[in-house]
Structures are given as structure tokens and as C-alpha cells.
Structure 1
Amino acid sequence: MEALLEQTAREPVAPPPPLFNFATHLFALNAARANKPAYIDDHGTTSYGELEERARRCASALRALGVHAEERVLLVMLDTISLPIAFLGALYAGVVPVVANTLLTAADYTYMLTHSHARAVIVSEPLLAQVTEALKGIDDDCQLIVSQPRADAHANADANANTGTALTAPRFESLVDAATPAAKGSSSSGDDIAFWLYSSGSTGKPKGTVHTHANLYWTAELYAKPILGIVETDVVFSAAKLFFAYGLGNALTFPLSVGATAILMAERPTADAIFARLVQHRPTVFYGVPTLYASMLVSPNLPARADVAIRVCASAGEALPREIGERFTAHFGAEILDGIGSTEMLHIFLSNRAGEVEYGTTGRPVPGYEVELRDEAGRSVPDGEVGDLYIKGPSAALMYWCNREKSRATFLGEWIRSGDKYRRLVNGCYVYAGRSDDMLKVSGQYVSPVEVEMVLVEHPAVLEAAVVGVDHGGLVKTRAFVVLKREFVPSDTLADELKTFVKGRLAPHKYPRDIVFTDDLPKTATGKIQRFKLRELS
């Protein structure tokens, strides 16, 4: 009810016009900001004017290569300025960019190239070996283009020459330099296919999630502007990479929709790499994931509050433990707006609000989205009970490409079945209970692994925890994999202490029967714990 009142109190967001190309939309929005920095990457600064010109040149280059409207181009690119140029250039040309995880194997890229029938693949030079190997396994005619931004180009060319492996594929930046800027963008409609994102594929082959031009618009209008309050004067930094739906919104859709400046980082988002950008560039909006926030807080190099300029943070990917949120805010003075989004919904649809944060919850529905919790029979569940999360909103994907079975199971009319379990509190906040396929039935009662994990990380010795079910003589029992903070040492005594700690806070059947201490937890590239790998170890 509170979310409904909030939505009706706000002015309704105007939909995009019937003819709507998102790249053209951004270029028009920022026409008066030609000299303002749009991006700061590891190689320098790119202005809004330069971004538009180079994206329009990219559109011409793709057309000159024979890539036609609605055909796909796979982007296997690190977070440098070349990725937004390639993405926006493709949109402008009516070509469909397929943004791929940069941490995959050659076999994964072979699957994506075959599944998407990509006409071209643009790859960052450090990732060239995997993509070159992947191309050997496809039958389609696919053009290889190598990205070597700015200063890297000469150094990498020299290095390749010295090893006898000089690149024969055209360089993306050179193609862009040589092209004439396209005079006009593709006459797309808001419902035209704009781009794909592949799911993580943790439970099978990755699914090609198909999004429209209008979907990008809706995430900015419904979440970025009213929830984050992002404005032109902000400097934003996302630890989540652009290939992740979360990162694409954070570092492209949102800043460019208001004329803000975004920081890009090609390297892995370690705590020290994050600190360097927070101190040097002083971003005002920071986007992370719970595991990163936890590692930042335990680092001896954690910067002082006075050394950074963060005003608000966001978190997604996993539920943010209460203790992590409270400690972060106590240190930096900035709240973390924990939320949940999905590749299928493109960005966050359930979120905490600035000034109303309730750590330990995922907040309330973002106005413009509706959520329902349903039982296995499809009936609504009352407050306090766990149910399957369904979402309805304008940024929903169209389908999974060439996967009718999965599409039918997920896209149910106006609703999307998320695969997540939640319970709603009487105050309207939602509490994460885990993935539907991670739920455990212990002693005839359901146990949410996330609920147990949230309690474990409240113990002063625990940095991270993951809970899975294991077979004990035909019965399911819980096992916790625990990563300790550096000052603590694993022991049987500590394991017993952790069990007692959980027993004192949850129902008796929920405490972990086994504690396994480990140095780290397996995670996806987006920071999600891969519980299925832990189950394989059990």
C-alpha cells in the first residue's frame, strides 16, 4: 500500500515516443554538453561530444563491414571507453550488440557466437586468445575486430610483433577513426530489439536475454532518477562491469541519461583497485555487491571518510547483510541502497530508499513495478510467509532467444517469474529468502540458506558464509562454508561457537550441522555465490 501511495503521489513518467532509438535519445539529451566529460577510463577522459562522434563513426564502420540492422555483434570487451562507443554505435546503426562476460572460456564464446549467429565479434586485445580459439568452432562467417584503446595500441602491437603474433584482424579504434560519422540513426521503435545480455548459465547453457530500446529508458526513469537521485553533477563508479545488467545501467544508461560523468576500470574490482578510484576521482555514487563491500571493510587500506566523496551507494547481486550495511554507513556516512534486479528486468525493481534504509531487507517495490509473492499453486501468500517472487514492469525482456521452453516458464504474460524466494514484512519491506532451487527442507520444514548466512556473518569472526544442504543418511542437513576474517583461526571450538550463535537467533532446525572453514567461496563474475559448486564438494 505504501508503494502504491508513493507511486500515485509522483508525476507519471511519460513513455518514450513510438519511434525511439536509445542512442539517438542520449545524443539529443547531451547535445549541450559536448565539452563535459562523459567517461574517465584508465587511458584518459572522453567528452560527450567525442562519445557521440565516435559512436556515430562506429555505426558507419559496422555498416561498411556489411553488418546489417537486426544482425548481432558480440562484444567481449573490458571496461574501457571503447565498449560504450561500440554499444551505442551498434544501437545507432540498428545493429544488436550482445554484451558478453569477459571471464568465460573459449567454449562459452563458441556457444554464444553460434547461438547468436553474430556477424562480427569485437574483443579487447587481452581476451583475444579465448575468442580466436572460439572462432575455430563456428561455421558462420564472423568478422574478428580487436580493440586496443589509445596508448595500449602501440604497446600491444609491439609486444605482438616481438612474439611473432602480430595481429591481422582490424583494430576497432582504427576502423572508427577512418569512418565518417553516420548522419542519421536507425529508425527504431521503442519495442525493437536493441541488445542482448547472456545469463550466467549457472544451471545450464547461458540464455540470450533480449531487450528493447525502451527498456533502457525505463530503468533510468523509474530507478536511477527517483531512487538514486542521480543528477548531472554526479560522478559515478560501478565495480560491477558493463557486461552485467546491473553494471550496464550503472555505468552507461544512468549517467548518460542525466549528463553525469562515469568512471570505467578495466581491471578486476579488488578492494585496493576500488579505493584508488574512490580517492583519485572522488565519485559521488558508487555501485557494488555485498562481497565487495565486505572485503572493503576488512581491508587495512580502507580510506578515511574525508578522503572520499560518496553520497549514496547501491548494492545488488546478493542480499546485503545488515552488519555490512551498518558498518559501511558508520564509516563513510553514506547509505547503501540494497536492491534486487535481474537480467530479465534489466535493473533494480525492489529497493531501499535514501533516508529510509532498513538494512537486512531489500526495501520496497520501485514505483512503476509491481511484485507479488505466490505459493506453488500460484496463490498470493500472506505477510511473513515465504513465496516465489513475480514482477511486472515496463523494462521486462521480450524472451530468451531461441529458447521457447525457458521463455514460457519465465515470461508469463505481463509477469516474470524471478526464481527468487521472498517474504514480506508488515511494514511493506521484503526480505530475501534465497533462490527457489536453493531452498532446503530440514526436519520437514523449509530453511532459507540466506537467512542462516545472514546470521553467521553477524558473528565477529565471520567474513563470508554460504549454506547448502547435504545428505545425512537420506535426510537433508545444513552445512555452512565459512570464510573467517584474517585475525581468526579455524578450530573445532570456533565451529561449535558458530553453531551455538545461530541456535540462539534462529529456530533449532535451522542451525548448520557442519561448519567447513575455507579461504574463499566460489562466485560468478557478478559476485553471486555459486552454491551448486559447494554442493558438489559436499
Structure 2
Amino acid sequence: HLHSNLAATAETYAKQVLGIREDDVGLSAAKLFFAYGLGNALTFPMSVGATTVLNSERPTPAVMFALMNKYHPSIFFGVPTLFAAMLNDEATKTQSGGDRLRVCTSAGEALPESVGNAWRARFGVDILDGVGSTELLHIFLSNAPGDIKYGSSGRPVPGYKVRLVNEAGADVADGEVGELLVDAPSAGESYWNQRAKSRATFEGAWTRTGDKYTRDADGRYTFCGRADDMFKVSGIWVSPFEVESALITHPAVLEAAVVPEADPEGLLKPKAYVVLRPESSAEGLHEALKEHVKQKIGPWKYPRWIDVVDNLPKTATGKIQRFKLRDGAQ
């Protein structure tokens, strides 16, 4: 990255979406060595002289609520798995977000609609769900105050241009799945000592994100999955995120991850791994979850197999590592 990329993220997302100001106090779950955390806890507050809270501990619900109670942040930067955990952690059920909290942000993975609505109902504050990447340094597609649609990643951040293209590189129409390309003032120059990967990712002004999206008639973008996570069932694209979002609306399910698995005929079908809520039982649940997904999103997208597990493999930022589940399924 160039030094000017840091300033670009502050001038665009921080000032024009977050509306960050000098009297803000920011608390970021992501640490400084992540691109998301670097903007949240360093670049953004320094750009306006705001205050930042740095935390060296693992960002558990208990730790985050303790920091909120001590420092009363006005902006909380989280990730979907943490928001869900903070909503469902029995030990912190009575905790509040503090009396100064005015906005929250989410990135890393798409925020399920049910989590966004539950957070707003409990804390009275919206989560601005967005998408960013290390290559583009911070969030480039986001919901904004007064323009929020939970379940979507919102619209391009001012200063950024986006395209959705098919495998041939042609733009796709509204409602069609395409790979997301971004023309960004904060785009990196290359990967260090990885020329082939750099050439495949940074194509002139455009950066390939590897994310699959759809765009609606209002110009909002909805995440479908990573290009290597998407698969077709009966010739129709299936988004793991869509199936996962349907599964977690069932009262017994805390977390879910979906990957493709081949049936006896060698055809790919969805397989789900679910973590249950503490009070829930797996007895009789498999068929109930299949019917629940059919009713929510359609009869061909339901998981043919469901494994109940104690936890899901995740990165340090809380992203589900589906490739580990794919390897296990195969």
C-alpha cells in the first residue's frame, strides 16, 4: 500500500459514512494488524483527533462489554460473529452498550439480517454492515446512517466505483450473480513478491475482490459468497451465506456454516454444520431444520446433511474457515 491509501480511507468511509468527529470515542474488536482494525483504531481517530480504545485481550463478549462500561465508546467496530455472541452470551445478558453509543460497524463477513435487527432492538443503535478487504485497506461498500437495509452490504462508499462481472468479464444485469470489482482510491499496488497473484488481482484501475454479489434495482449490493465457496445445485447458484442466514433464524441454532458435498451420483448439494444454543437438543432437529430452510429460501437450497458440532473453525477476526469444513466433508 501507499501512504496515501491511509488518507483515502479516512476521507471516504470515515468522514462520509461514519461521520467521525473529534469528540468520538472508538472501540474496535479487530486489532491494529488487520486492515479493518488499522482504520478503526488508528487512521480514523487520528484523522480528526478523536479518541481510540486499544485492547490487548481476546475480544470476547465479557471483555467488550467491560470496555464499553469503562470507556463509553460512541462508535463500536465489530464483526458478525462477535455481535451474535454478545447478543447470546448468558453471562452478559443484562449488559448495555453504554450511554454514548451512536453507531456500530460490521465487516469481515456479511452480517445476517436477524443479527442486525436483534442488535437494534436491544441497544437502540444500528450496525452499518459493509465489506472491505486488505487489498483495498478498508470498507468500500456499506450501509449508511439513514440508509440501512439489513441483509445487504449497502451501496458504494463515496469515492469508490464497483462493477459486477461474469466469467467472461462482461457486466451482469440487476439480480444476476457476478464477481465484485472495485475502482478504489485506497487500492494496493501489489502483493509483496507475488507477481502472478498481483497481475490476477490488480487489473489497471480495477481490483478483483473474489466476492460474488447481486445488485438490486435500488443500487444495493447483497453478498452471495466467496467465489470459491459458491456452488450450483440443479444448475442454480447456491450462496452458503443465504443458507446459513436461514438456519440461524431457527430458535435452536446459534451458528451455522454451509459447504458443498457430493451425493451418491456425484452431484453437489449443501451440507450444514450447526452449533446449537445451550438449551437446545439435537433430537428430531435435522428434519425440522431442513423444512425451516425450505420455507425460508426455497426447496432446492436446503442442506441434505446436517452435522451438529461444538464450534466452527474461525480466523482470529471471526471469519468462518469454510475450506476446513470442505476438506472434512470430502
For the superposition of Structure 1 and Structure 2, which TM-score range results when normalised by the shorter chain? over 0.9
Which runs of structure 2 are paired with 1:79-228 in the superposition (5 Å)? Answer: 211-228=1-18
Q: Which runs of 5+ in 2 are unaligned?
A: none
CA RMSD of aligned residues (A): 1.1
Pick the aligned partner of 2:58 from 239, 243, 268: 268
Kept in 1: contact 2:73–2:98 (CA 8 A): no
Which residue pairs with 2:282 in the alignment? 490
Aligned to 1:362: 153
Aligned residues: 327
Residues 1:308 and 1:485: Cα distance change in structure 2 (over 3 Å): farther
Supply the distance in 1 between the matched residues of 2:326 and 2:235 (Cα, whole angstroms): 20
Determine the C-alpha separation between the residues in 1 that align with 2:123 and 2:50: 22
CA distance in 2, matches of 1:219, 1:324: 26
1:481 to 264, 267, 273: 273
Structure 1 runs of 4+ with >6 Å offset: none
- Residue pair 1:338, 1:363 contacting (<8 A) in 2 also: yes
Contact between 1:284 and 1:311, CA under 8 Å: does it hold in 2?
yes
Higher deviation after alignment, 237-246 or 468-477:
468-477
Q: Spell out, residue by residue over 1:263-283, the C-alpha distance to the aligned partner (whole angstroms, 9 max, x if none).
A: 011010001000100111111
Q: Is the 8 A contact 2:262 2:269 kept in 1?
A: yes
Q: Secondary structure at the match of 2:127?
A: strand
Is it true that 1:428 corresponds to 2:219 in the alignment?
yes
Take 1:351 and 1:504, find their aligned partners in 2: how far apart are those partners? 29
Partner of 1:297: 87
Letter in 2 for 1:360: G
* Amino acid paired to 1:415: W
Residue 235 of structure 1 is matched in structure 2 by 25
Q: Which residue in 1 is equivalent to 2:39?
A: 249
State the AA in 1 paired with 2:171. Answer: S
Deviations 1:206-251 (A, max 9, x none): xxxxx11100000000000110111000110000111110000000
- 1:456 Cα offset (Å): 1.0
2:110 is paired with a residue of what secondary structure?
Answer: coil
- Looking at structure 2, the residues matched to 520 and 404 of structure 1 have their Cα atoms a distance apart, in angstroms, of 37
**How far does the alpha carbon of each residue in 1:325-382 deviate from its partner, in whole angstroms, 9 at most, with x for none?**
0010111111100000000000000000112211000000001000000000111111
Q: Deviations over 1:445-499 (max 9, x none)?
A: 22111111111111122111110001222111110111111121222x1111110
SS in structure 2 of the partner of residue 528 of structure 1? coil
Q: Which moved more, 1:379-388 or 1:305-314?
A: 305-314
Query: What is the identity, as a one-letter code, of the residue corresponding to 1:345?
Result: L
Conserved 8 A contact 1:275-1:302: no
CA contact (8 A) 1:464 1:483 kept: yes
Provide the rounded CA distance (Å) in 2 between the counterparts of 1:302 and 1:238.
21
The amino acid across from 2:106 in the alignment is S
1:302 deviates by 3.3
Secondary structure of the residue aligned to 1:399 is coil
Evaluate the alpha carbon distance shift between residue 466 and residue 306 of structure 1 in structure 2; reply closer, same or farther with a 3 A threshold: closer
Offset at 1:306? 7.4
Distance 1:377 1:345 in 2: 23
Letter of the 1:483 partner, please give it: V
The aligned counterpart of 2:250 is 459
Say if 2:300 is the partner of 1:515.
Answer: no
Residue identity over aligned pairs, in percent, reads 58
Give the structure-1-normalised TM-score: 0.60
The two structures have a TM-score, normalised by structure 2, of 0.97
- 8 Å contact from structure 2 (residues 65, 95) kept in 1: no
The alignment partner of 1:524 has SS state of coil
Question: Contact between 1:419 and 1:436, CA under 8 Å: does it hold in 2?
Answer: yes
The whole-number CA distance in structure 1 between the counterparts of 2:274 and 2:228 is 21
Verify: 1:527 aligned to 2:321, yes or no: no
Q: Choose 1 or 2 for highest CA Rg.
A: 1
The separation in 2 between residues aligned to 1:319 and 1:425, in whole angstroms, is: 17
Q: Tell me the CA shift for residue 307 of structure 1.
A: 4.2
Aligned to 2:67: 277
Paired position in structure 2 for 1:331: 122
Cα distance change of structure 1 residues 525 and 305 upon mapping to structure 2, 3 Å threshold: closer
